[in-house]
Chain A
Amino acid sequence: GKDVDAIKKRGELNCGVNTGLPGFSAADSQGKWSGMDVDVCRSVAAALLGNADKVRYVPLTAQQRFTALQSGEIDLLARNTTWTLTRDASLGLTFTGVNFYDGQGFMVPKKLKVNSAKQLKGATVCVQSGTTTELNLTDYSRANNLGLKPVVFEKLEAALAAYASGRCQAYTTDASGLASSRAKDMAVPDDHVILPELISKEPLGPAVRRGDDDFAAIVRWVGFALIEAEEYGITQANVDQLKSSSTNPSVMRILGMGNEDTGKLLGLDKEWAYRAIKAVGNYGEQFERHVGPKTPIQLPRGVNNLWTKGGVLYAPPIR
C-alpha cells in the first residue's frame, strides 16, 4: 500500500507518542524514548524497515493526536489511545489491536481519607481534555449523582501538576497512567492512593490511518507476533538460539525459519517477526521492563496476561 511505500521510501517511521507518560512513552533528558507504546513503534520499525531505531517520535497531546494521524503528520499512533466505536468508525482511522487492557480509575491524596470513588461527591477532578477519560468521568458522575467538577487541561503534565499542587481533590485517568504518575510524578507516592473502582473499559491500542490495509495488517500482526512469542517462550535473549535450533513448527513459522515465509503475505521478508522480537522482546518482557512489579510503576500483570494464564491476551495464530 501507499503508506508502506512512503515509509519505506522515507526509511523512517513517524510515530505519534505521548508527550510523557512513564512506562508508556517518555523521553529521558538525552531525548531517548522508552515505554510500552514506544516499543510498538520500535517493533513495527524493526519489522518493516529492519531497524528499530528508524523511528521519528512525534510527541502529541491528546487533542492533537487524531489530527496528526489524519493529516499524515504521523504514520502510526501509539499513544495509549482507547479503542471506541466512534473513533474507529468516524475518524478515518483503523485500530490494529490492543497493547494494553486498562480501565479508568481515580487517584486521591491519602489525607482526604477517601476509600471509594462514591465518596467524592462534589469534588473537583483534574482531567486531560479530549480523552475518553473525560467522557467516562462525566458518565460516572451522572450515573452516581456525584456532581464531580472537571477541570480540563490541554496537557497531561498540566493536569498532573494541578492535581499535585492540590487544585483538584482527585485525578482521573487510566489505571496504568495513575500508577505511572503516582510512582513518577508524585513527590511522595505513598501520600496518594488509587481508588479501587475502575469505571470503564479502556482497551488501549495503536491506530493507523485508513486507506492502507497493508500497513494496518503489518502493525496488527507485529503486535500478535509479540504475544505469540511470549506464548511460545521466545525471548529477546533466546531468539537467536531458537532461530538456529528450534524444531517447534509454530516457533519456526514465527521466526521465518526454513521455508516458512509468513512475511511475504504481509509484503515483508520472512524475518520480520524475528527482528521485532529481537528489538523489543516478547510482550511479557516489555511489560516487565516498562510497567511490571519490578519497575517504579508496579502494575500487576492482571488481565494483561496470556489467556493461558488467566488474562485476555489471545493472539490469532500466525500461520
Chain B
Amino acid sequence: MSAQFQPIAPRPSPVRQSGPVAWARRNLFADWRSTATTLFIALLLVWALPGLWRWIIAGAVFRPDADACQAARGVGACWGVVAEKYRIILFGRYPFDEQWRPLVATLLVIGGLVVSCMRAFWKRWLIALWIAILALFFTLMGGGVLGLSPVRTELWGGFPLTIMLSVISLFLAFPLAVVVALGRRAKLPAIRTICVLYVELVRGVPLISVLFMASFMFPLFVPQGVTVDVLVRVIAGLTLFIAAYMAETVRGGLQAVPKGQFEAADSLGLGYWQTQRLIVLPQALSMVVPSIMNTFISLFKDTSLVTIVSLYELTGALALALNSDVQWRPFKLEAYFFITLIYFSGCFAMSRYSLWVEKQLAASKAR
C-alpha cells in the first residue's frame, strides 16, 4: 500500500549564468556606479595603452645597436641592451666560453624543482635525486674534474648563483627550522628559551645586517688563519635568517595538528620520537607546504640583497654588465625589466603553485 518514491528527474537551470554578455552585465555594468568605474578605467586604458605599446613594441629597438637605441630614446624601449648583454646578466663573470656549464647546471636545478612540485613524485628517492642534482651542479660549476677547467666561486654569478643561493639555503634551513620548531614546543624550558631567543632575535633584524656580518665580520669570530669561502658564509647567513622564519611556519603546522592525534598515538603506545616522526611531522609539514613555498619565494627575492655584499647574482651581474659600459648604461631600465621578468615568472609560478597545493589540501580535508 505504501507509495513508491518517485524522484523528479533533475533539470538544468533555466537561467544560464554564463555567456559574455551576461557576464559583462553582472561584472561591469551592474549599476550606475559600476558602469561609471568601468568607463573611467576604460578611458584610462585607452589613454595609456597606445603610448605603452609604442614604447614596448612599436617604437622599440630589438637589435643590439647602441646608436639606434640612442636615437629611439624617449620613444621606444631599447631591448637591444638585453640582446647585447644577456650573457653577462645571466651568468656574471663566469668564463665566457664555459657558460654552457652554468646553463646546464641551472636547468638541472630547475628541472629538480619542477619534479619536486609534482605530488606523484613525493617519494623517498626525491632526496637522493636532489643530492645527485646538487652534486652535479657543483661539479659543473666548479669544474676541476672530468676535464672541466676549474672556475673559482667568486666568478660564479648571475642566475645560477641566485638559484643556488635560494635552493641550498632552503634545504639547509629546513631541518634547522624543524628542530627549532620542535624545540619551541618542547617541555624543557631551557631548550624552549634558546629557540625562542634565536627566532625572535633573527626576525628582529634586517637581512642586510645579517649578510654584512656573514661576509665581513665572520673572520673576526673564528680563530685566525681559518678561512671560509665567502659564498659559504653568505649561504650560512641566508640559512640562519630564513630558518628563523621557517621555524615559525613549521610551528604553525605543528600547532594545527589536533590534540586528538597525539592522544591516539599515545593510546597506541607510540613513544615521543615515534609520534613526532610518524604522526605529527608528516601532517604538520604537508599542511605547511604552501607557507614553505611562500618562504621560498621571499628567499628567492631576498637573494638579490647579496649584491650589497658584492656577490654578483642576477641583480649584481646586471650592474656589472652595465655600470662600466657608457654606451649601454642609459638603457638600464630595460635591463631591469628583463630581470624583473625573470624574478616575476619564478615567483608568480611558485605562488600559483602554492595556491594550488593549498586548494588540494583543503579539498582532501573536506573529503
A binds B: yes
Alpha-carbon distance between A161 and B332 when the two chains are bound, in angstroms: 10
Chain B neighbourhood of A73, CB < 8 A: 216, 219, 230
Contact with B along A12-50 (1 / 0, CB 8 A): 000000011010001101110000000000000000000
CA of A59 to CA of B154, assembled, Å: 10
Which residues 58-74 of A sit at the B interface, judged by CB distance below 8 A?
Answer: 58-61, 64, 67-68, 70-73
- Chain B residues with CB below 8 A from A240, complex form: none
Which positions 121-173 of chain B face chain A at CB distance < 8 Å? 152, 154-155
Residues of B close to A187: CB separation below 8 A? 326-327, 329-330
Least Cβ–Cβ distance between A243 and chain B, in angstroms = 34
Q: Which residues of B contact A154 (CB under 8 A)?
A: 308
Report yes or no: A72 in contact with B326, Cβ–Cβ below 8 A: no
Asked if residues B217 and A67 are in contact (CB atoms below 8 Å), the reply is yes
Contact B154 A56 (CB under 8 A): yes
- Indicate the member of A27, A31, A164 with the most B CB atoms within 10 Å: A31
- Assess the B154–A29 pair: CB atoms within 8 A: no
Interface presence of A309 (CB below 8 A) = no
Please report the number of residue pairs spanning A and B whose Cβ atoms sit closer than 8 angstroms.
62
Q: Which of A6, A20, A164, A186 contacts B324 (CB 8 A)?
A: A20
Interface size class of A (residues with CB under 8 A): 20 to 34
A56 and B95 alpha carbons, distance in the complex (Å): 16
- Of B110-118, B220-228, B270-278, B294-302, the one touching chain A: B220-228
Contact of A31 among B93, B217, B220 (CB under 8 A): B93
- A149 sits at the interface (CB 8 A): no
For A210, what are the chain B residues with a Cβ–Cβ distance below 8 Å?
none
Indicate whether B323 reaches chain A with its CB closer than 8 angstroms: yes
B-contact bits for A137-172, CB 8 A (1 contact / 0 none): 000000000000000001001001100100000000
In the assembled complex, B246 has its CB within 8 A of some CB on chain A: no
The majority secondary structure among interface residues of chain B is helix
Chain A residues in 8 Å Cβ range of B88: 29
Q: Most chain-A Cβ atoms within 10 A of its Cβ — which of B152, B309, B324, B330?
A: B324
Cross-chain contact A185 with B216 (CB below 8 angstroms): no
| Shortest Cβ distance from residue B226 to the other chain A in the assembled complex, whole angstroms | 9
Contact across chains for A70 and B220 when beta carbons are under 8 A apart: yes
Q: Is A289 at the interface (CB under 8 A from chain B)?
A: no
How far in angstroms is the closest Cβ of chain A from B251? 35
Chain B residue with Cβ nearest A73: B219
Q: Please report whether the interface of chain A is mostly helix, strand, loop or mixed according to DSSP.
A: mixed
A6 touches B310 (CB 8 A): no
Nearest CB in chain A: distance from B160 CB, A? 15
A301 interface contact, C-beta 8 A: no
B308 in contact with A161 (CB, 8 Å): no
Judged by a CB distance under 8 angstroms, whether B177 is at the interface is: no
Question: A30-B95, A64-B310 are contacts. A71–B326 as well, Cβ < 8 Å?
Answer: no
Give complex CA distance A187, B309 in Å.
28
| Docked-complex contact A71 and B217, CB < 8 angstroms | yes
Which residues does chain A contribute within 8 Å of B310, judged by CB atoms? 19, 58-61, 64
Separation of A31 and B216 alpha carbons in the complex (Å): 22
Given A71-B217, A157-B319, answer yes or no on A27-B93 (Cβ-Cβ < 8 Å): yes
Partner of B218, one of A31, A71, A157: A71
In the complex, which residue of chain A has the Cβ closest to the Cβ of B332? A161
Q: Which of B95, B154, B309, B323 contacts A157 (CB 8 A)?
A: B323
Q: Which residues from A are CB-within-8-Å of B5?
A: none
In the complex formed, the residue of A with least CB distance to B309 is: A64
- How far does the Cβ of B85 sit from chain A's closest Cβ, in whole Å? 9
A71 to B324, Cβ gap below 8 A? Answer: no
Q: Within 8 Å of chain B (Cβ to Cβ): is A118?
A: no
Q: Which of B216, B329, B330 contacts A68 (CB 8 A)?
A: B216
**Which one, A19, A26, A72, A160, contacts B219 given CB within 8 A?**
A72
Indicate if A8 sits at the interface (CB-CB under 8 A).
no
A26 touches B93 (CB 8 A): no
Q: Hey, which chain B residues are within 8 Å of A20, CB to CB?
A: 323-324
- On whether the beta carbons of A185 and B155 are closer than 8 Å, the reply is no
The smallest beta-carbon distance between A319 and chain B, in angstroms, is 34
Q: Taking the complex as formed, is A54 at the interface, i.e. its CB lies under 8 A from any CB of chain B?
A: no
- Give 9 pairs: A residue, B residue, CB < 8 Å, sorted on A: A30-B93, A61-B310, A68-B216, A71-B216, A72-B219, A161-B323, A161-B332, A164-B329, A187-B329
Given contacts A30-B96, A157-B324, A161-B329, 8 further A-B contacts (CB under 8 A): A29-B96, A31-B155, A58-B154, A67-B217, A72-B227, A154-B308, A184-B324, A187-B327
Across the A-B interface, give the 9 residue pairs with the lowest CB-CB distance, nearest first. A71-B219, A157-B323, A31-B93, A67-B216, A72-B219, A71-B220, A187-B326, A20-B324, A73-B219
